[in-house]
Amino acid sequence: MSRRYLFFLVTVSVACFLLYLVVRHAPILESHQSHIVSAVKSRSGQSSDVGLPSFSPCNCSCSTVNSVTRAAKGRHATTPASGHQTVVDVNSDPVRHDVVMGTRPLGSSVVIMAVMRTGSSFVGEIFGQNENTFYLFEPGIPLENELIAHNETSVFMQQLYIDMMNSLYRCNVTYLDFYLKSLSGKNQNTILKSAPRLFDSLCPKMKRGGSGRFLCGKVSPIRFVQKCREKRSIVIKSIRIWHIGMFLPLIQSTNLKVIHLVRDPRGMTASRVPAMNVVDNTSNKLKAGSFTEEMREYLIRYCSLSLENKETGSYLPKYRDNYFLLRYEDMSLDPGRVTQLIYNFTGLGAVPETVSKWIAENTQAYRPGVYSTTRVSSQVYQSWRKKLDFKTAKAIENVGRCAEMMEHFGYLPVRDKSHLKNLSFPLLAPIPAEHDSQKYQSYRFTG
């Protein structure tokens, strides 16, 4: 068999396979676009293409399970018995259309963009404790779990998550049954953490701060949307989207405010991998790639994207007015004042007394636990210096673009062991003027 003939056969086979994929998944892709268009029209009356993600075979999942793709398939649902598609039109039910699709004018939309172990749960609680905000903790978890449960690829997880967030910011849960199910029948502590504004209606006979042994009620679409509409601001905390560019459609369509939370990569690493502090030669393992390789890649990505997000958010006109850089260390040193700055940025005005009280109670005491939000914050931000040895700290500084990231964000390198361990020598400085487009140092603190 000649090479030319063999090449011809391979080419034809690939072409046929691609054609099969397009024909098989075209209805799903088409209905996905239909859902997005109808959701936006029903919420804001805007044209179909204003500031929304563009879905195509190149950037949207072609095979998502029924429980998740109700958001992707628009008004099409598959009948299990026959396998045929039937049309489910929410307009045929005026009550469901009005309550679930809704017409609530867009208020303030906020996202806390962070990675694990950077203090995002604490920052989220300054909104969660405010009765005027509809705060949602990591709504991407149920989406991710649903995909995993049905052995679906997570390649397009972030794009699907953006679509989900677009609906939530508009109080539209028409096709988010899997999310409402994830909030139903949970204990009171879970509700207070995941969606605190639903607590009073779901757990009417329970007291806040109780044992958490009793289960709350079921979340109905009507109940969720009513609570969502009542609040002037909708805030989502997420560690599942790392790049501000993913939020551009929401910035354009909902005027989304992005709080970019960062932390010294040495402190983030010490908090993320507690076991590393009792392992000998950790720095050598990091350099060798067995620290693990996953952790090394995580650091490379974290430092690189932190720089990219800062440059994009600070300098590009599309983002500049909707971007707020927040260092974990500044929140730790003066949580009261920094919270007020965050409230000013998001348009929430003065910090309520209830929030100020919660901040005082949760930064003046210590409660053990890896995921606890109760710490002596002025001490915690430097605790990594007691945990890491000098070689490990230097190894982290030298991973990828972490040294460059530290310079841009005001994190000082360690010189030697005594410099690392002596907390009277600060490793936090104002962001250098040449890297400070937003005059960050004029209202932040160092220590």
Q: Which of 281-290, 301-310, 382-391, 435-444 has the highest mean pLDDT?
A: 301-310
Please say whether the beta carbons of 276 and 392 come within 8 A. Answer: yes
Cβ atoms of 128 and 355 within 8 Å: the answer is no
- Phi then psi for residue 317, to 5 deg, are -55, -35
Segment 369-389 shows an average pLDDT of 69
Could you give all domains of the chain from N- to C-terminal order, each with its CATH number?
Answer: 1-92+136-184+219-230 (no CATH), 108-132+232-442 (3.40.50.300)
pLDDT at residue 13, rounded to an integer: 57
pLDDT tens-digit map of 185-217: 998 889 999 999 999 888 876 655 555 567 899
Residue 338 near residue 275, CB atoms below 8 Å: no
431 vs 30, higher pLDDT: 431
Bigger pLDDT: 200 or 92? 200
Tokens at 148, concatenated: 């995993």
pLDDT of residue 66 exceeding 70? no
Structure tokens at 244: 């501000």
- Report which of 255, 130, 119, 230 is spatially closest to residue 171, judged by C-alpha positions: 230
Quote the pLDDT of residue 15.
55
- Distance CA(423)–CA(340), nearest Å, equals 28
- DSSP character string of 78-98: E-TTT--EEE--GGGSHHHII
Phi-psi bin for 281: left (phi > 0), alpha (psi -120 to 50), beta?
left
pLDDT cut 90: percent of the chain above it: 51
Token pair 């995941």: residue: 194
